[in-house]
Amino acid sequence: MLAHIKITHFAIVKSLELDLTKGMTTITGETGAGKSIAIDALGLCLGDRAEASMVRQGEEKAEITVLFTLENNLNAKRWLEDNELYDGNECILRRVITKEGRSRGFINGSPVPAAQLKTLGHLLINIHGQHAHHELMKPEYQLNMLDQYAGHVSLLNKTRSRYQAWRQADNSLKQLIKNSQQNEAQKQLIEYQIKELNDLALGEEEFAQLEEDHKRLSNSGDLVEYCQQAVSLLYENDDVNALQLLQYANNHIQQLGQLDPQLAPLSEMLNEAMIQVEEANHEIKNYLDCIDVDPAQIAFVEERFSKVMSMAKKHHVLADELYEHHQQLLAEYERLDCSDEKREQREQEVEELKQHFLEAAHKLTKSRQRYAKELNNKITESMQTLSMEKAVFDIQIESDGVSKISPLGIDTLCFKVSTNPGQPLHPIAKVASGGELSRISLAIQVITAQKVDTPSLIFDEVDVGISGPTAAVVGKMLRTLGESTQVLCVTHLPQVAGCGHNQLFVAKHTNSGKTETQMRALSTEERIEELARLLGGTQITDHTLANAKELLSAA
């Protein structure tokens, strides 16, 4: 529920702060006073487009803050939790607009893009504008209204997702066919390159091992020579070697240790060094025994290594990237493969996906037909209540799974009406007058609002073109709706204004050459005076006051 709204420096509002309650609240005021300005400001907090002209003249920025309570709004709570913005049973939306036209949005103090404000806004409040009856003539608006009433969100989502899967596959197939001739030359080149690489048959880790073997075998002579020299220096040289020198040094250390015990540990260190020398000598000899100087092996590795390097150069890649390049060519060849078998397989997949879409679309059609019948009866009854006693309303649904396919299914809607007995049903745009269209639109909006999950509804002068006894019926309809849902209604009709549980008054005045709009709650006595003004205009008499009091008492 919308609990509080604060507006600063917005349009002709200098400062405005309102506490709102449950039930039906009507908003009245003189023409041009800015009755819809709070709703416009609220729209900004719900993600509407911001413009520099919205900032009050002479001010740096405009700021709008609204507070919603979330006690019975599970959808909004779940959305806030999913987006890590939940902060208890209250939700604060804030929008700041600078005089340069830049804007920032916040949800519970966290900065968010306008798109998130708009998404959350749909879960918090539903606004019915004064031009809804013009929108009512558009087929897409009619379809959306029926879907909103039916509430078959899962069916819509399934139909939309299956449509997208089918279209993506169909576009892929069309691209495959279109590119088949263009890709043929490229395919032949890739086929030749793949054949070369297949003949080479390079393993995934082969080049690293090959490079290591090539380096070792090509330097086998040096390896043998240097290993033999190392063995001689360490152990086998008859004149002098490392082991012999260490033994000499150890003998001297042992003698010194007898003279000074502090030198005794050095002998142990030299013994360990001699052991290390012997082990190193042993390892080098083993390595020498394993060195393969087989000319055939050397020739094979040299030839293999040369082939790999040559092939890598030919394909303009590094040798260690040649295997991966081979795999990429295989994948590219598969993508370009436009064989009849593959094409038929794709065509079968596309047809299966289309049938899945049509299956979901037909279920959606049945759901629409069911709720259309229900809505026909309710709207017809409501229209007759609104002084159109003989009117008949009918939603006609045409289904075409060939030429009328869209993400929303296969249906085309037409709202038709007959306003007089014996008159055939025709599209409402061709039959209904302006006043009749307003009443039909209002009837539809009130009925569909009862099926909406959002706990707050705003009707912005939706009663345009309605007067007299019909206005009283409209007021009662909205008041009944307000018993279970918070309703805010901007109106110029006293019959509607008097039906509100609460009433706000909008006034405009000039201060120091600047125009300001203010809005305040009316007491019972003030409501009677305002209703009298709406009834009698500038001339308020005892008679109009009595009528106003009676109007308020009747509500």
Backbone angles phi, psi at 136, to 5 degrees: -60, -20
Partners of 509 in the β-ladder = 516
Q: How many Cα atoms are found within 13 Å in the side-chain-facing hemisphere of 293?
A: 11
pLDDT at position 444 is 79
| 130-153: b (≥16 Cβ within 10 Å) or e | bebbeebbeeeebbebbbebbebe
DSSP 188: H
Residue 418 and residue 431: Cα distance in Å, rounded? 7
pLDDT at position 60 is 92
pLDDT at position 155 is 94
Q: Which residues contact 528 (CB under 8 A, 6 or more apart)?
A: 545, 548, 549, 552
pLDDT at position 154 is 92
H/E stretch holding 508 reads: strand 502-511
| First and final C-alpha spacing in the chain | 23
Dihedral sign (CA 429, 433, 438, 443): negative
- Full 3-state SS string of 380-443: HHHHHHCCCCCCEEEEEEEECCCCCCECCECEEEEEEEECCCCCCCEEHHHHCCHHHHHHHHHH
Residue 58 and residue 465: Cα distance in Å, rounded? 38
10 Å Cβ neighbour count for 46? 22
Spatial contact of 145 and 415, defined as CB atoms under 8 Å apart: no
DSSP 319: G
Amino acid at position 113, single letter? P
Cα distances (angstroms) measured from residue 214 to each of 202, 205, 220, 324: 15, 15, 10, 21
Q: How many Cα atoms are found within 13 Å in the side-chain-facing hemisphere of 340?
A: 0
pLDDT at position 95 is 95
Global pTM reads 0.60
The SS3 call for residue 478 is helix
pLDDT at position 542 is 83
H/E stretch holding 103 reads: strand 103-107
pLDDT at position 433 is 65
Residue 374 and residue 149: Cα distance in Å, rounded? 10
Backbone angles phi, psi at 433, to 5 degrees: -80, 175
The SS3 call for residue 126 is strand
Divide the 555 residues of the chain into consecutive groups of 10 and give the mean pLDDT of each group.
92 88 89 78 88 89 93 88 91 93 93 92 80 73 88 92 94 79 74 86 80 72 75 77 82 80 83 86 77 70 82 87 88 72 84 94 95 92 84 91 90 89 83 70 77 76 73 86 87 89 88 80 90 81 86 81
| 283-295: b (≥16 Cβ within 10 Å) or e | ebbeeeeeeeeee
H/E stretch holding 349 reads: helix 340-385
Cα 363 to its chain centre, rounded Å, is 26
Q: Which residue has the tokens 């059609």?
A: 365
pLDDT at position 61 is 93
Spatial contact of 478 and 148, defined as CB atoms under 8 Å apart: no
**Helical ranges in 260-339 per DSSP H:** 264-290, 295-314, 322-336
Q: Which residues contact 34 (CB under 8 A, 6 or more apart)?
A: 11, 12, 13, 506, 508, 517
Q: Among candidates 34, 28, 27, 76, which has minimal Cα distance to 54?
A: 34
pLDDT at position 516 is 81
Structure tokens of 94?
Answer: 């804030």
